[in-house]
Amino acid sequence: GESVGLHLPTLSVQEGDNSIINCAYSNSASDYFIWYKQESGKGPQFIIDIRSNMDKRQGQRVTVLLNKTVKHLSLQIAATQPGDSAVYFCAENMNGAGSYQLTFGKGTKLSVIP
Amino acid sequence: DAGVTQSPTHLIKTRGQQVTLRCSPKSGHDTVSWYQQALGQGPQFIFQYYEEEERQRGNFPDRFSGHQFPNYSSELNVNALLLGDSALYLCASSLGRSGRGWETQYFGPGTRLLVL
């Protein structure tokens, strides 16, 4: 769902289950995408990135999928752990247009139930 | 390997005052970007500094200014503070000399500013 003001979309998952966090990005010219994890009181932490010439990229326990046709990005976390509880942001960049800024989505709060 | 550091961690100011926030980039990085994060929102880009020059600016008024030093550290200055400037201010560093805009930006812990 969409967030309004302070109300972030929330995803609750059981420990050990897989999590899927979705993001609809805004600009079809964006060519670089990043997922960040932000724990309470901390700065965003880099998780994984993907360029627009790829559809899928895997890291340790995480996979990012990119669907440029519908401007959709997803982050899959395997075997979710309590330490994964945080707010997750997707960010996009238009490097091909000479832009250096990251544009962030609204974020999704992941809560892991032990 | 030192990550991105920011100071101070917290700051309280009153309306109309001026504030300076500081950032030291990750070892080996030469580019610093500043973001403002309001409560419950994603970070918003303020500007980026590379080679001691402002390379790109977001949609923020001139009250927001910055500086980058020869050692790549950076300052963010905000003049004539408004209540709405209360936020978490994040610094991110990256390697800019490659010329590729998609160098990963690594964030510091932020400075939480409260304007009363």
- Write the pLDDT tens digit of every residue in A16-56: 999 999 999 988 889 999 999 999 989 999 999 999 999 99
Please name the residue that has the structure tokens 């895997």: A58
- Cα(B55)–Cα(B49) distance, integer angstroms: 6
- List the structure tokens of B87: 């936020």
A99 touches chain B (CB under 8 A): yes
Percent of chain A with pLDDT over 90: 76
The mean pLDDT of A79-103, rounded to a whole number, is: 91
Q: Which of A93-97, A108-112, B31-35 has the lowest mean pLDDT?
A: A93-97
Which of the residues B31, B48, B102 would you substitute to probe the A interface, choosing the one with the greatest number of A C-beta atoms within 10 Å? Answer: B102
Mean pLDDT, all residues of chain A: 90
A49 touches chain B (CB under 8 A): yes
The mean pLDDT of B42-53, rounded to a whole number, is: 95
Bridge pairing between strands A32-38 and B10-13: unpaired
Res B88 pLDDT > 50: yes
SS3 content of chain B, % helix, strand, coil (to 5): 5, 50, 50
Contact list, B68 vs chain A (CB under 8 Å): none
Contact yes or no for B104 and A34 at CB 8 A: yes
pLDDT at residue A99, rounded to an integer = 83
Res A3 pLDDT > 60: no
The mean pLDDT of A59-80, rounded to a whole number, is: 96
Contact yes or no for B107 and A6 at CB 8 A: no
SS3 of chain A: the string is CCCECCECCEEEEECCCCEEEEEECCCCCCCEEEEEEECCCCCCEEEEEEECCCCEEECCCEEEEEECCCCEEEEEECCCCHHHCEEEEEEEECHHHCCCCCEECCCEEEEEEC
pLDDT at residue A96, rounded to an integer = 72
Contact yes or no for A100 and B96 at CB 8 A: yes
Predicted confidence band at A94 (pLDDT cuts at 50, 70, 90)?
confident
